[in-house]
Chain A
Amino acid sequence: NAGVTQTPKFRILKIGQSMTLQCTQDMNHNYMYWYRQDPGMGLKLIYYSVGAGITDKGEVPNGYNVSRSTTEDFPLRLELAAPSQTSVYFCASSLGGSHYNEQFFGPGTRLTVL
């Protein structure tokens, strides 16, 4: 298993541009998550999904959108990029259910908005 994969690894955007961060997992996990990690701030949940076709907001959803058309993929869309969205983005997945909480993380995407 490749686990959770994310593309791209690095990206520089200009203010106002848009992009999609890709996330794929091959573990047949039901639950998937997007986090952003700012220096000294830990991980903040942006959006999450408990299954294909179901998504919901996390702590910091403004400026982002997600979709979950398949079990494997959970892309994160940035519209009208702003400098405040400069961060490292992590995708994670878990099997789901009260006894399968372990989240498996991807390697991250480092995004800079100039």
Chain B
Amino acid sequence: GENVEQHPSTLSVQEGDSAVIKCTYSDSASNYFPWYKQELGKGPQLIIDIRSNVGEKKDQRIAVTLNKTAKHFSLHITETQPEDSAVYFCAADGSSNTGKLIFGQGTTLQVKP
């Protein structure tokens, strides 16, 4: 089955700097790769996603890149702000058509003012 590895597990940056979180996946049949943000005491919330027919997608200060050949995808946050501090999860859908997602282990991002 699908396996998703996420790095780093913790990341600390200064406000205004960029942050990059990387994930690798094992199932070449995966074609949907979402990123979720989880604030303290809340459920995860989708912030951006990408499908296998696209190499990059941007939404204001966040972007996701996908390299299907290497089976890895990354989240890029530019001009970080203290409110970006949270846990971020990547996921992949594997080869099933049930909507199931396999999640990475999560990255705790701390943005220092």
**In the assembly, what is the distance between CA of A31 and CA of B99, in Å?**
8
**In the assembly, what is the distance between CA of A94 and CA of B104, in Å?**
19
7 smallest CB-CB distances across A and B, nearest first, come from A105-B43, A43-B103, A42-B105, A42-B103, A31-B99, A101-B32, A105-B44
Q: Tell me the B29-86 residues at the A interface (CB within 8 Å).
A: 32, 34, 36, 41-46, 49
Q: Tell me the B9-25 residues at the A interface (CB within 8 Å).
A: 9
How many whole Å from A24's CB to the nearest CB in chain B?
A: 14
> Are A103 and B46 in touch, CB under 8 angstroms?
yes
Residues of A within 8 A of B105 (CB): 40-42
Residues of A within 8 A of B6 (CB): 42
One of B97, B98, B103 near A48 (C-beta < 8 A)? B98
How many inter-chain contacts with C-beta < 8 Å in the A-B complex? 62
Q: Tell me the A59-114 residues at the B interface (CB within 8 Å).
A: 90, 92, 94, 96-98, 101-108
* 30 A-B contacts (beta carbon < 8 Å): A4-B43, A33-B99, A35-B103, A40-B105, A40-B106, A42-B89, A42-B104, A42-B105, A43-B44, A43-B89, A43-B103, A45-B102, A48-B99, A50-B99, A58-B100, A90-B43, A90-B44, A92-B43, A94-B99, A101-B34, A101-B49, A101-B93, A101-B101, A102-B46, A103-B34, A103-B46, A105-B36, A107-B42, A108-B41, A108-B42
Residues of A within 8 A of B44 (CB): 43, 90, 105
